[in-house]
Amino acid sequence: MKNSRYLLPLFLAVMASCTSKGSSDRIEKNEAFSYTIDTVMVDAGDQFIYLNNLLTSSGQSPDGNYLYNFNRNQATLELINLETLSLEKIIPYEKEGPNGIGSGMISKVVDIGSDKLIFSDSYQVSTVDMNGKKIAGFSYAKQEFEGEKLPEDKRIRLEETFSKDGKTLVALYGGLKIDDTADGLAIFDLENKQVRYHPIDLFKELEKFQTVFYFEGVHPIQMYMADIKLQLKGDTLIYSNTAQNKVYFFQLSTNNLNSKSFSSKYTSQEAEGNYPKRSDNEEEFKEITKVKEKEVNYGRFFFDDVNEVYWRFSKEMDKMNGDSIVFKTVLTAFDFNFNQLHEELLPSNFILPQKYFSRKGMIYTFLNIDDELGFVRLKPTITYE
């Protein structure tokens, strides 16, 4: 593996904007925006960092110094030191037995402090230590918590989020079928092992962005839909989705629901939607999918504690280059109360991966070069006048 932390000029050419500055006009609140971009590589020594899942099975330490990357093939956790840009340690875990964490298809890794982590594969939730031991855990299907029980025709869905201290888990619940939309929120008190359910019709509006492929006209086996983004900020659940330029706030203690809508001069306000709700033909479904991939896609909100803003990426088709879609990618800044501050159209060759996060005033985006882990780092500056 390469020992150099910084990418050679050959690789820097991947981003024509590296070390260059972008700027924009001042907006209504008199902010001036600029940024620089560089690219760095992680030294893995004689090991290989697991990149098959594009770092989507990973999480950060609260101080931002470590990235925890779960290797689904080997059921190990890779501790990547973001200060030294090196693979520091690999921790093995067990799938079965007293310390079993389930399938090993971990989708979330949450650092809750005191050298404890939460692993979730959206079916089983496990609290583990940094020595490979399981401390606690439960399965959604077993309904082990006190409180209302879900009826047999309902289940906990894949969308979930945890509080920073690991004491609260909020997930969606709904019908058993792939094409069933969510009925509401399942709110778990992990400390007291209690759960309550709160129905919300809000998610039904996502049906217009959904197309389901039915095998032999009967069995729903594949679906294209708007992705749901959830996160907890204190007592408030923040909900957004990839199809709409807005955000919702649900207060757990009062059940109050509010929302904010935004506008963009670069992207559509909403995905077009209104395509066939079902397809019984695989080729037709593929063609519908191709059209939907060109539509606007709004990413999740993520907080930058140095610049004290929430960032959000969005993208939409700009043009076709042969059979390939060329996207325009936009970075938008929001203040702590989700008031929109600024949006920036990034260079046309900026590639937006699935994994990105903020650290010490910079935005890290995942980069795979020859099966080695790198990050494109965008360092924004907002000047208030």
- Encode pLDDT of 303-328 as tens digits: 999 999 999 999 999 999 999 999 99
pLDDT at 22 over 80: no
The predicted model gives 281-290 an average pLDDT of 93
Number of neighbours of residue 232 by Cβ within 10 angstroms: 17
Q: Which residues contact 245 (CB under 8 A, 6 or more apart)?
A: 261, 262, 263, 264, 267, 269, 270, 296, 298, 314
d(CA 216, CA 281): 8
Q: What is the rounded (10 degree) CA torsion for 212, 183, 356, 11?
A: 0
Task: Look up residue 328 and give its two tokens.
Answer: 């325009």
* Residue 116 bridge partners (DSSP): 113, 129
pLDDT value at position 273?
85
Question: pLDDT tens, 60-95?
Answer: 999 999 999 999 999 999 999 999 999 999 999 999
* Residue 241 bridge partners (DSSP): 228
The predicted model gives 38-54 an average pLDDT of 97
pLDDT value at position 385?
64
Task: Look up residue 65 and give its two tokens.
Answer: 């110094």
Long-range contacts of 237-243 (CB under 8 A, 24+ apart): 237/161, 237/170, 237/185, 238/301, 239/202, 240/298, 240/300, 240/301, 241/206, 241/298, 242/271, 242/297, 242/298, 242/299, 243/206, 243/209, 243/270, 243/271, 243/273, 243/295, 243/296, 243/297, 243/298
pLDDT value at position 218?
86
Q: Residue 294: left (phi > 0), alpha (psi -120 to 50), or beta?
A: alpha
Percent of all residues in the chain with a pLDDT value above 70, rounded to a whole number? 91
Q: Which residues contact 270 (CB under 8 A, 6 or more apart)?
A: 243, 244, 245, 296
Long-range contacts of 8-16 (CB under 8 A, 24+ apart): 11/39, 11/369, 11/374, 12/38, 12/39, 14/39, 14/349, 14/367, 14/369, 15/39, 15/347, 15/349, 15/350, 15/376, 16/347, 16/349
Give the Å distances, CA to CA, from 22 to 124, 257, 344, 351.
Answer: 44, 37, 9, 16
Q: Find the helix or strand (DSSP H, E) in which 194 lies.
A: strand 194-199
d(CA 147, CA 281): 43
pLDDT at 20 over 60: no
The β-bridge relationship of strands 309-321 and 58-60 is unpaired
**Predicted TM-score of the model (pTM):** 0.90
Question: pLDDT tens, 86-130?
Answer: 999 999 999 999 999 999 999 999 999 999 999 999 999 999 999
pLDDT at 13 over 60: no
Q: Which residues contact 13 (CB under 8 A, 6 or more apart)?
A: none
Question: pLDDT tens, 267-276?
Answer: 999 999 878 9
pLDDT at 227 over 50: yes
The predicted model gives 249-262 an average pLDDT of 97
* Residue 223 bridge partners (DSSP): 212
Confidence of residue 25 (pLDDT cuts 50, 70, 90): very low
- Rounded to 5 degrees, φ, ψ at 286 are -65, -40
pLDDT value at position 187?
98
* More confidently predicted of 359 and 18: 359
